[in-house]
Amino acid sequence: MNSPESLSELDDFARQCIHSQDHPEDIHKFQPFYCSACKSAALKLTIEHHTGSEEWDFKGIVWGECTTCGYLNRLFTFTGDSRQPLREERPVCECGGRDFMVGLCERTEGEQGIPGFFDEGVMVGKCTLCHRNRVFVYTD
């Protein structure tokens, strides 16, 4: 389940979501998430949307509860002091599963742009039951 093959497939899926093939000069970095307590890769997500959050431009916090040890990991934060929590979303796969392997792929501009300038990113997951890939949030 936590094999390098399935993570590289999730990496490929994330790159497709942000059209990496249209940005050959830029750098795409994929970062898988693990429980910081026990290193398990199976997480239950809670996506906390804050004011200003859009489908293509997420603002808020993504939490990942470890399905092995129960530790609540703060996976991703993209918010500010002036933003208020709006609603929470608990992603469920089409198969009913709630446990995902989760990763973040971010594009930063390479040689042709300003090096290190963040362009866009996507947080994706693979259901640990049926192995379906899905998008959780886009950041811009």
Interacting residue ranges for Zn ion, rule: CB under 5 A: 35, 37-38, 40, 66, 68-69, 71, 93, 95, 97, 127, 129-130, 132
| Beta strands at 27-32 and 85-89: parallel, antiparallel or unpaired | unpaired
Q: How far is the CB of 29 from Zn ion (least distance, A)?
A: 24
Quick one: 62 or 66, whose CB is closer to Zn ion?
Answer: 66
Q: Which two tokens stand for residue 88?
A: 């929470």
Q: How far is the CB of 72 from Zn ion (least distance, A)?
A: 10
Quick one: 101 or 105, whose CB is closer to Zn ion?
Answer: 101
- As a whole number of angstroms, the distance between CA 36 and CA 136 comes to 20
Q: How far is the CB of 110 from Zn ion (least distance, A)?
A: 35
Quick one: 69 or 86, whose CB is closer to Zn ion?
Answer: 69
Q: How far is the CB of 133 from Zn ion (least distance, A)?
A: 10
Q: Pick the closest to residue 49 from 123, 122, 137, 125 (CA basis).
A: 137
Q: Pick the closest to residue 127 from 104, 89, 100 (CA basis).
A: 100
Q: How far is CA 22 from CA 15, 28, 77, 107, in A?
A: 10, 12, 27, 11
Instruction: Read off the DSSP letter of residue 27.
Output: E
Quick one: 20 or 68, whose CB is closer to Zn ion?
Answer: 68
Q: How far is the CB of 30 from Zn ion (least distance, A)?
A: 21
Quick one: 60 or 125, whose CB is closer to Zn ion?
Answer: 125
